[in-house]
């Protein structure tokens, strides 16, 4: 191993001396093993920052890296890091003794082990840094796409102020979700952009999700990807890169299977970690060497033809490569998992009733998933806000969302053989947006059954199926007041309903006498949809 400094990083002997000095000080204070490990990891970070690509410059983000590296609980990957740093401490103590007694051969062997362990830990940090970069870059793109260029200043301010912990995500949701929902709700009430109708045994206050979405400031401009984003996307979309990522995923699963908490890793989590691992040159190096070994084994090479010492060295080098690969994957898994825990814990305060429905997305930070989470939060934070207003009414009031597929009338008019009778059976008018209609069937099965009942021509069926797939949802958020339950507890139903409507700020609107509204409302969604 060369001792020359690289890129501002101290030389090997200087770093080892710094570790020894730190360890001696900790032993003199009779520090606990946990404290020793944490302090050595912090020293390690200080000495090796320049060896880590994309290492953050902001102090808050540096602290995030430290906390993610030095954690002891909350993720099964910490077992791997603890084993590495514990082994490092043991090797360091033996190395110091070997140097003192001038056992040059043993000292050199221990030094090699120390530097190799250091390299593995560097890869752990590299995995953390890559995962953090992908998470923050993807969230930044979502902010830009749906809130506009000016919102990036707000996002950057949060990144500069907070570590990537629960406090950050709470501030993020407050800034980009809760405040938007509160502003929209206020404007809806002031502009009386709600509807009150009697539907069966319920008095329904209906709010349009469109009025909440109006608070967004979406852009259709092309958004350039960062290097991290682009490389990650290639591992999803390009055949060779995707194949490499799957190979790395399999190796991660194999090598991590010895961890006591291995079953906590999901296949998707390992695949995301593998894609992040392939951002580093270690991914390509592993694939090249692995495939060469497979080819050699298939061709019968090696064995007696290869020098035993050479074979041993090659095996040791390949094991070291695997250890670094796993280190990078573990670091990525920890960052993805712990950050996901923080994010979802923050979301619970804003959409507690339906958080379980999006748990499958917990460790997925792809742009499509983040978009789904954004719209989930906007919708269900409004549901939560309305639910809180009627909390003391108990089961008399429920707040639900309903959705129906919305399509432009112009596209419907272009379909062949679409008669007025057929149209009436399949679609209802959307009174909330001019020039659009709503599918009456709520599921693909219902649509298929209706088309069969109407004996539609194959060409028309194909056209309707195409409209169904690309239709966007109209979402209604409804406060359902159970008239029967309210009536049981009062002798003056009208006055009691007035009190409830006043809680929701809609008492100025005259209570309806009609049994049904003009259009067929969207069907209620299952919880969390």
On the question of pLDDT at 154 being above 60, the answer is: yes
Q: How far apart are the first and last CA of the chain?
A: 57
Count helices and strands in the chain by DSSP H and E runs: 21, 7
**Can you give the pLDDT at residue 526?**
37
Mean pLDDT of the residues in the chain:
91
**Can you give the pLDDT at residue 508?**
65
CA distance 329 to 275: 9
Q: Are 406 and 474 in contact (CB under 8 A)?
A: yes
Mean pLDDT of 449-478: 95
Confidence of residue 525 (pLDDT cuts 50, 70, 90): very low
**Can you give the pLDDT at residue 529?**
40
Mean pLDDT of 435-445: 95
**Can you give the pLDDT at residue 527?**
39
pTM: 0.89
Confidence of residue 528 (pLDDT cuts 50, 70, 90): very low
On the question of pLDDT at 522 being above 90, the answer is: no
On the question of pLDDT at 4 being above 60, the answer is: no
Confidence of residue 515 (pLDDT cuts 50, 70, 90): very low
**Can you give the pLDDT at residue 512?**
52
| CA distances to 210, 319, 347, 356, 529 from 376, in Å | 13, 45, 10, 12, 8
Exposed, middle or buried by CB within 10 Å (0-12, 13-18, 19+), for 42?
A: middle
Mean pLDDT of 83-100: 96
Exposed, middle or buried by CB within 10 Å (0-12, 13-18, 19+), for 62?
A: middle
On the question of pLDDT at 510 being above 70, the answer is: no
On the question of pLDDT at 5 being above 50, the answer is: no
**Can you give the pLDDT at residue 309?**
84
């Amino acid at each position: 191993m060369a001792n020359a400094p690289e890129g501002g990083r101290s030389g090997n002997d200087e770093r080892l001396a710094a570790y020894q000095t730190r360890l001696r000080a900790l032993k003199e204070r009779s520090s606990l093993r946990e404290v020793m490990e944490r302090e050595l990891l912090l020293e390690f970070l200080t000495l090796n920052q320049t060896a880590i690509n994309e290492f953050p410059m902001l102090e808050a983000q540096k602290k995030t890296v430290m906390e993610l590296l030095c954690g002891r609980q909350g993720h099964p990957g910490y077992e791997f890091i603890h084993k590495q740093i514990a082994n490092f401490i043991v090797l360091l103590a033996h190395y110091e003794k070997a140097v003192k007694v001038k056992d040059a051969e043993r000292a050199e062997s221990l030094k090699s082990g120390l530097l190799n362990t250091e390299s593995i830990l560097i890869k752990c940090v590299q995995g953390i840094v890559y995962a953090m970069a992908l998470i923050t870059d993807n969230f930044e793109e979502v902010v830009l796409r749906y809130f506009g260029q000016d919102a990036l200043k707000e996002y950057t301010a949060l990144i500069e102020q907070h570590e990537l912990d629960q406090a950050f995500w709470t501030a993020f949701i407050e800034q980009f979700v809760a405040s938007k929902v509160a502003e929209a709700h206020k404007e809806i009430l002031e502009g009386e952009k709600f509807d009150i109708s009697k539907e069966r045994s319920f008095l329904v206050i209906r709010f349009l999700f469109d009025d909440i979405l109006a608070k967004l400031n979406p852009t259709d401009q092309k958004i350039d990807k960062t290097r991290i984003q682009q490389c990650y996307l290639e591992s999803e979309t390009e055949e060779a890169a995707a194949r490499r990522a799957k190979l790395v995923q399999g190796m991660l699963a194999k090598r991590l299977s010895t961890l006591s908490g291995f079953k906590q890793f999901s296949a998707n989590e390992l695949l995301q970690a593998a894609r992040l691992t392939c951002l580093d040159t270690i991914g390509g190096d592993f694939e090249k060497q692995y495939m060469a070994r497979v080819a050699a084994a298939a061709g019968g090479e090696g064995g007696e033809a290869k020098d035993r010492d050479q074979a041993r060295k090659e095996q040791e080098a390949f094991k070291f490569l695997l250890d670094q690969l796993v280190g990078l994957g573990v670091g990525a898994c920890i960052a993805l998992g712990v950050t996901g825990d923080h994010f979802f814990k923050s979301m619970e305060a804003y959409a507690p009733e339906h958080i379980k429905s999006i748990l499958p997305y917990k460790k997925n930070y792809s742009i499509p998933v983040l978009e789904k989470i954004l719209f989930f939060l906007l919708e269900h934070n409004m549901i939560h806000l309305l639910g809180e207003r009627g909390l003391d009414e108990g089961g008399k009031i429920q707040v639900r969302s309903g959705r129906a597929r919305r399509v432009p009338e112009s596209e419907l008019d272009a379909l062949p053989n679409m008669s007025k009778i057929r149209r009436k059976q399949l679609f209802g008018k959307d009174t909330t947006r001019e020039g659009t209609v709503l599918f009456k069937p709520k599921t693909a099965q219902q649509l298929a059954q209706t088309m069969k009942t109407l004996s539609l021509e194959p060409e028309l069926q194909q056209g309707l199926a195409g409209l169904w797939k690309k239709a966007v949802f109209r979402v209604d958020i409804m406060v359902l007041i159970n008239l029967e339950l309210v009536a049981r507890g009062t002798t003056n139903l009208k006055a009691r309903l007035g009190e409830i409507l006043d809680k929701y700020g809609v008492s100025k609107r005259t209570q309806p006498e009609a049994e049904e509204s003009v259009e067929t409302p969207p069907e209620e969604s299952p919880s969390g949809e």
